[in-house]
Amino acid sequence: MLRSVKMTSHKGMVNFPEEIKEEFLATGGLDFRHSPYASAEEIWDFMTKEAPRRFPYYYTSSLYTSAAYRFSDYVEYLWIIKFHYMLISYRDRFKESGKKGAPIAFIQGGQGLEPYHAAGTIALRPMSVMLWGGSMSAREGVSLREKAISDRTIEEQGRREISPESCHLVDGHQWIKQGFVPVDIVAPYLCTRCSDMQYLTESHRSSARKTPTFMVDYPVNSHPDQEWSAEYLASGLRRLVQKLKDVGGKNPSDEEVLDSIRLMNRGRKAVRDYVETWINAERVPGYSVDLGWLPRFSGEYYGEPEAGIQLAEEACREVEERVARGIKGIEVSEDPVRLFICGSCYTPQADRIDKGGGVVVGCDDFWNRATIDVQEKGDPYQNMAKAMLAWPYERPTIERARWTVEQVIKSKADGLIFAHHWGCQLQSAVSRMLSEIVKKETGIPILYLELDALGKAETIEQSENRIESFIEMLSVKKK
């Protein structure tokens, strides 16, 4: 799409403008693995008629909402409409898929998806389960405020049961325990990105629903070149596939796992192409949020890898065309302050960053997995294990910091924000060390943020004011 079209606005609600409908319909529909084909017409009708009625908090024009729920003021990419369709509609689609035998697995926030898809399983990360529970448990048509209260209530129930110091992932586990999200197995990897996943997973053993659990143990202090660690992790991945088979999945052959690897590599390439085209453009080709969604999207695809990768490749074509024409994001400054984001589970309120003179040019979460492909020949489990052991985000802090330095330089960032949520023991512990290494190597200023705003409408204003002040400081430095 080679123009920026303002969203319609009425009584505090926004919607997609009718003038882009024909252009959107020409892009075609989405092919799903677990659901029927969705035509562009069906997607448009859902996003402009049904979704605003059922999920109005997505369509609010209020600035006081989390980045996960607010549409931008302008439509600059058509693929974004399909992306949000996948995000909003998967609750309906997967309830039907589950009835037809496709098991749903609750996984970690940023991990390899190949074993789950090869075993015919729908893999959903914590935020997806939290969104599913938060929207499906309450009556449809709730306001943003009503949804925030509902989410806060379930979180406090979980913390009373598990620990008052638990991170926000407790929400997703609580939605499962209370039966609002029909998960068949809790089967995450244990990675250093999250300090709480192990005991949150173990807590299902004592819940009334007794959801089956399995954890792929990750050898934290290992090295990618150590043979024992790759063998150890590969054996865990093989056991994972057997566990998925036991809850209704299939037992894939090694060739089928390799096919899944090839598919995920195709998705990783699309993400790399998209991000690299964006950050190397002379003029920023869109909103920060339009850059930020795709790497995170690649960490899940909302259970539908073929449709998700199709969408990622559409995004590549759109951004390449806009960059070739020199089209800038309409509310992005000509020379914005470029920000690189570090930390798990954090999405900055990008539209306010753009309007304040900044722009997000990268993040370490999820993006690091898109930078490493899995070998497509040989033992698929060994190949997956070696790639996982090389993920920069899971490496010792010094190695993770060195990789972050490389990304900061590539993205031409003017400053770095390291944010972590209250209760995230790991990220809070490493934030200062990693950031000081980056500052020493690159000289860019650092902003630290501790938040309590994951997916919520509260506590946002204070952190956003700090970010805006940080942008203002960097703007003066650039002049």
The domain limits of the chain are 5-478
23, 94 contact by CB (below 8 A): no
Residue 118: per-residue pLDDT: 96
Residue, of 238 and 154, whose pLDDT is higher: 238
Query: How many CB atoms sit inside 10 A of residue 68's CB?
Result: 18
pLDDT tens digits for range 2-33: 899 999 999 889 999 999 999 999 999 999 98
Rounded to whole angstroms, what are the CA distances from 85 to 40, 62, 71, 257? 10, 21, 12, 28
Instruction: Please give the mean pLDDT across all residues of the chain.
Output: 87
Residue 97: per-residue pLDDT: 59
Which pairs count as long-range contacts for 201-210, CB under 8 Å and 24+ apart, including other chains? 201/173, 203/161, 203/162, 203/173, 204/173, 204/176, 204/177, 207/177, 208/177, 209/176, 209/177, 209/179
Regarding pTM above 0.85, the answer is: yes
Nearest partner of 312 among 291, 283, 329, 281, judged by Cα = 291
pLDDT tens digits for range 461-479: 667 788 899 999 999 877 7
Confidence tier at 194 by pLDDT (50, 70, 90): confident
CA angle, 339 then 399 then 421, to 5°: 50
pLDDT tens digits for range 315-363: 999 999 999 999 999 989 999 999 999 988 777 778 888 989 999 999 9
pLDDT > 50? residue 457: no
Residue 165: per-residue pLDDT: 79
CA atoms within 13 A on the CB side of 321: 12
Residue 458: per-residue pLDDT: 46
Residue 25: per-residue pLDDT: 98
Residue 88: per-residue pLDDT: 86
Q: Once rounded to an integer, what is the mean pLDDT over residues 92-115?
A: 79
Query: In degrees to the nearest 10, what's the CA dihedral of 48, 50, 56, 58?
Result: -60
